[in-house]
Structure 1
Amino acid sequence: MRIAVSGGGTGGHIYPALALIREIKKDNENVEFLYIGTEKGLESTLVPRENIPFQSIHITGFKRKLSFDNIKTVVRFIKGVWDSKRILKKFNPDVVIGTGGYVCGPVVYAAAKLGIPTVIHEQNSVPGLTNKFLSRYVDRIAVCFEEAKAYFPQEKVFFTGNPRASEVIGQDGIAGRLSAGLNLSKPAVLIFGGSRGAKPINEAVLKKLGEIGQKPYQILYITGDAHYDEVQKEVDLIGNPENVIIKPFVHNMPEVLAGIDLTVARAGATTLAELTSLGIPSILIPSPYVTDNHQEKNARALSEHGAAELLLEKDLTGSKLIEHIDGILMNENRLNEMKKAAKDLGIPDAAERLYRLMRELVK
């Protein structure tokens, strides 16, 4: 079986694709993959690192406002479709899957026009422009939130969950704690704002760093590479409490997450898939700067089921953050209720569900 995969722009589109590929390889080593992305996107670095064949096309996203750049984008899209058809004809895949990002537009559209079975995977509760466009042409649409179904043709939609959820199952939480320098005997909180970090979250933590030092729990605080030096300068002035470990980035996040009791994070779809799969309660601070405010809608899908507490960025202060952490971590009943609620929302077999959907199209 040959599978062409496309997804790019952000880790939220790329990591589910890589997780799916890894899970399929566990099941069947004979499956051949080709990943089609952009030359300058994050995928051009992450995919070859996994020893997955990679080819690129040149494409840019549409501006939501009227812009001359959109005319250029249309021209690039047409050329991208032509280039994608050439690549796909040579690779001859049995099925093509797009996991999001504007690069999927020409790739999946080209596949549909060539008569190749096609699937798109929507990670968020509110679809992006590319998947809304592609939904008219593809054979199947896989979603991770029930709320997303309303945006697509109902006869094509299937609930699969996010393949990243399958990847975190079975991780060694003790090893994860030790790798991060965390104590095995104290409750642990992970605070992070995505791969690049989030300045408002960093500011809230820094303002209460001294008070956090008096708490009976420990914190693993991931600043993001872009903010680490600035944060460290502040910490040098304030002092670094013994129960706070500060890092710019963590490369083994699934393993670390398995050893965490509570997480403070943005509400990206991949993060939420990991948290629910592991049954980790969370305090979600959705980014207000994303398309259609989809992170807040993602977060509400968890908070309304008791798996998370929602803290909007406009309401975020150091005091509010500690109040939320204490209210969960220092109330055993509340903590356990949230763990169960999060676990109930998890889809640990998401990768298998998605692979099954793809196989059914090939028969």
Structure 2
Amino acid sequence: MKTIVFTGGGSAGHVTPNLALIPKLQEGGWNIHYIGSKTGIEKDIIEKEGIPYHEISSGKLRRYFDMKNFKDPFLVMKGVAEAYFLIRKLKPDVIFSKGGFVSVPVVIAGWMNRIPVFLHESDITPGLANKIAIRFATKIFVTFEEAIKHLPAGKAVHTGSPIREDILKGNRESGLRYLGFTSTKPVITIMGGSLGAKRINETVREALPQLLEMFQIVHLCGKGNRDESLNEVKGYQQFEYVSDELPDIMAATDMVISRAGSNAIFEFLTLQKPMILIPLPKASSRGDQILNAAAFEKKGYCRVLQEEQLTEASLLQSVNEVYGYRLRYKENMRGYSASSCLKEIIEYIEKASK
């Protein structure tokens, strides 16, 4: 039986594309293993799927000064050693990495064991972990065509983003029933990523009375960010995080307000959901979401609202404008298809295993 090791973690965005590939490979008779960190979000997600999960040490590599910078390189080296012997034991035919700092030791250990290593880069420019991993990779799959110019010549292939099939199978009526919403008012789903977004959460709650005049609101606010005083507000549902119910919620959704993480926005694009994107600002990121959002706005998929300009008034104005032009946004999105992405990546994996 052919064996593949997946890796990637630190955020849900470094796991969900793997979850799109795994069922297809299982159908093809592949034996699946996952290597991740001891405490990252990937552990809970993968173990819930019933996939064998193996823990290694992991250290974060930072662009800024932190006392942990003196300790974490040793954790990375320890992780490489642990991954090296784990890979020798599992004997995979292929390694597939979605990025995040836990992936670096696995990619290096795979290269040391002469195993073909594939990376997937979601953003237009590679993150620090993938920048390190690129030199050990056999091939790099990219979501944005613009990313190719930022990668070594001949190594990158534009495939798009692997989309989970279950996100496409939601039922609108089931979603409305789960939320306790009516079918007579449109639904806006608001999310700030798996960890939440303080500025977005605060502004949404400030604007909530006006939003609820016309819309029903689903607010995925992140762990520890619920406001219990709003529990009984009609037409408003808040969740820290949603998993199994997300396809139905998205089927019931008419418009999305979100950060601009690549995996999420390509799911919205595939579902043809008009978007307001509020990318992470440069002050708290490397600017990847700003580039992602700009690329989507250029294609007519979304409206971008920078966090520095985010106020109650600017949010309400953007909501009214995007909803007013929702049919135009949906028409622009109809030209995009994600169906070939999974097939192309799996063809590369199958070829490497032979």
TM-score, scaled relative to structure 2:
0.92
Say which SS state the counterpart of residue 124 (structure 1) adopts.
coil
- Counterparts in 2 of 1:150-299, with a 5 A limit? 150-215=149-214, 217-228=215-226, 231-233=227-229, 235=230, 240=233, 242-251=234-243, 252-288=245-281, 290-299=284-293
Structure-2 separation of matches of 1:200 and 1:70: 28
- 2:5 aligns to what? 4
Q: Is 1:342–2:333 an aligned residue pair?
A: yes
Q: Which structure is higher in RCO with an 8 Å CA cutoff and minimum separation 6?
A: 1
> Which digits, 9 at most, give the CA deviation of each residue in 1:117-137, with x for residues without a partner?
110111122211111111112
* Cα pair 2:293 2:304 within 8 Å, conserved: yes
* Cα pair 1:35 1:55 within 8 Å, conserved: yes
Which AA in structure 1 matches 2:208? L
Structure-1 separation of matches of 2:58 and 2:222: 28
- 2:96 aligns to what? 97
Say which SS state the counterpart of residue 177 (structure 1) adopts.
helix
Moved more, 5-14 or 342-351: 342-351
Deviation at 1:57, TM superposition (A): 0.9
In structure 1, runs of 5+ residues without a counterpart are none
Q: How many residues align?
A: 351
Match of 1:306 among 300, 303, 321: 300
- 2:145 aligns to what? 146
* Cα pair 1:308 1:342 within 8 Å, conserved: no
Would the alpha carbon gap of residues 19 and 165 (structure 1) be closer, same or farther in structure 2, given more than 3 Å must change?
Answer: closer
* Cα pair 1:278 1:343 within 8 Å, conserved: no
- Counterparts in 2 of 1:6-155, with a 5 A limit? 6-25=7-26, 27-28=27-28, 30-65=29-64, 69-155=68-154
Say which SS state the counterpart of residue 337 (structure 1) adopts.
helix
Moved more, 254-263 or 341-350: 341-350
Structure-2 separation of matches of 1:156 and 1:297: 22
Structure-2 separation of matches of 1:68 and 1:212: 44
In structure 2, runs of 5+ residues without a counterpart are none
Which AA in structure 2 matches 1:282? M
Deviation at 1:279, TM superposition (A): 1.0
Deviation at 1:154, TM superposition (A): 2.6
Deviation at 1:345, TM superposition (A): 3.7
> Which digits, 9 at most, give the CA deviation of each residue in 1:39-84, with x for residues without a partner?
1111222211111011111120112135564343333322222211
Say which SS state the counterpart of residue 195 (structure 2) adopts.
coil
Structure-1 separation of matches of 2:211 and 2:115: 55
Structure-2 separation of matches of 1:348 and 1:290: 34
